[in-house]
Amino acid sequence: MHNVVLIEGDGIGPEISRAVQQILKAAGAPINWIPARAGMGAYRELGNPLPDETIELIDKYKVALKGPLETPVGGGFRSINVALRQRFELFSNIRPAKSLPGIHSPFTHVDMVIFRENTQGMYIGQERWVGDDEKHAESIAVVTREASEKIIHAAFQYARKHNFKKVAVVHKANILKLTTGLFLNIGREIAPQYPDIEFRDVIVDNMAMQMVMRPEQFDVVVTTNLFGDILSDLASGLVGGLGLTGSANIGEKHAMFEAVHGSAPDIAGQKKANPSALLFSSLMMLDYLGENEISAKIHQAVISTLKDNLDACTPDIGGKGDTFTYADAVCLALK
């Protein structure tokens, strides 16, 4: 039995969390859920968006599944997602994007995985006003050799383990010569250690264009924090949106799996939310825990549901059902 901390999150989080728990239970996944709080709901009730108890639970049990958290825009507390990644040194953000049957998209052969360095870059939160009139702001980006080596090795190792043939390092070294230049140079140093993997480097703006012209040319993509944030959302858009892609945050000792879409407070409690993103994240969690057969079984049940029982799915992907008819349909396919 695996102990997993469950942060249901804000908005639609509790609904999609219950749907995912239902499916994993039906598949026989040996999970003991440890409930924890974070986000706007925790802030309103406890005065703290990331309670110490939640941090202690994640530190104790090492693995967490997290629903979407609301983050104030332009003020208030900083992103809890970023805080958790930095607190537990979850340096590797892994975002697969793969075409799915039954999903309307002009792209039908996408199968790529974005590896995003998760702890540095522009997201370290070092911003400041210059002067007293708030007319000049500065932000600092940090790129280190240690963090770059970790994420680039992780990308190559993932490619080898999952039979991908290509790794692309994405950068802006023609302009940001020190920070992303360092990242690119480390990629070039590491690539010869994996002679079975084809290596290329791509400037980030060209990468965005190439992804919407010929996304099938990419397998594993590894990049810095800000670029990875943007490109992973773009990759999700190619296969139907953030509601259809999972996400993993992996460190040396801890791992957190999460839905990266918003908390959608406008539809909270209405059973309209698609649980696919959190479900796919939970499958990545099962793989991490060594429950590969159960993960594969659930994945096949989702594919069968999208192919043969789309009406039971949520309206955002063309169905006529709701969060729990979708979960019921996947459970039926498991049988």
Q: Which residues are catalytic?
A: 123, 172, 205, 229
Q: Under a CB-based contact definition with an 8 Å cutoff, are residues 238 and 97 in contact?
A: yes
The dihedral built from the CA positions of residue 323, 297, 239 and 257, taken in this order, carries a sign that is positive
Distance CA 225, CA 141 (A): 10
Which residue bears the tokens 């290596």? 199
Q: What are phi and psi of 115, to 5 degrees?
A: -105, 120
Burial of 290 (0-12, 13-18, 19+ CB in 10 A): exposed
Residues present in the chain in total: 335
Name the nearest CA neighbour of 302 among 12, 10, 24, 18. Answer: 24
Distance CA 72, CA 261 (A): 15
Strand, coil or helix: what is 291? Answer: coil
Q: Under a CB-based contact definition with an 8 Å cutoff, are residues 273 and 16 in contact?
A: yes
According to DSSP H, which parts of 47-133 are helical?
A: 52-61, 80-87
Name the nearest CA neighbour of 164 among 97, 241, 69. Answer: 97
